[in-house]
A and B are shown apart, each in its own frame.
Chain A
């Protein structure tokens, strides 16, 4: 398994502002998946980020709202832009690890509260 860290672990933000979440993995991975978990809900895939190419967004998520960077094979960021209270969620990154039954492990998550 991979060691995955996220920063910040939690934050409280004002509406209209933006927050950038960092995800660091201890090994090189081709793909990084970003998920959102709204309060009391399951995980929803936001986007898939490959190093060296633009991220692919799922239906209902757009690049202007959730820009993603993937500068190298161990690091990625997700920005939540122009936040509203509806963006209050846990955001999780998950590296796509080849082999090992294609198991996905998850970062500890960033708990975001928007006031």
Chain B
């Protein structure tokens, strides 16, 4: 069964520092992989998605993620954190078109000045 594991429930960085949020997936077939962000008291917003077109995926707000099949990973990065990046980040997977997304437990990103 497909699943995702987000390593680190809470990540703290300083403003301007590199952001790295980890996601490993378990799927028997090439998956569809997504990152979503949820700001406090707001809905889910799609950051980026991998659908096999390119292994390095660029998303909104300067975020990007790299699909590494050998490591079954889809880590989210941003070169320079901004205070406005503080939010909850969810990695999600589906292994077939038309099925529902399965979410990881989420990572809370805190950014300090």
Binding site for B on A (CB under 8 A): 30-31, 33, 41-45, 48, 92, 94, 96, 98, 101-109
Contact = CB atoms under 8 A, between A and B. Distances in A.
Interface stretch (B13-21, B60-68, B103-111): B103-111
Give the size range of B's interface with the partner: 20 to 34
A96 B43 contact: no
A33 B97 contact: no
24 contacts: A30-B98, A41-B105, A41-B106, A42-B103, A42-B104, A43-B103, A45-B101, A45-B102, A92-B43, A96-B98, A96-B100, A101-B32, A102-B32, A102-B51, A102-B94, A103-B46, A103-B49, A104-B34, A104-B101, A105-B46, A106-B36, A106-B43, A108-B43, A109-B43
B106 A42 contact: yes
Contacts of A33: 100-101
Interface of B: 32, 34, 36, 43-44, 46, 49, 51, 90, 92, 94, 97-98, 100-106
Contacts of A48: 100
Contacts of B94: 102
B105 A92 contact: no
A33 B101 CA distance: 9
B94 to A, nearest CB: 7
Contacts of B51: 101-102
Contacts of B32: 101-102
A42 B98 contact: no
Nearest to A46: B100
Contacts of B43: 92, 106-109
A31 B99 CA distance: 9
B53 to A, nearest CB: 8
Given A102-B32, A103-B46, A42 B101 contact: no
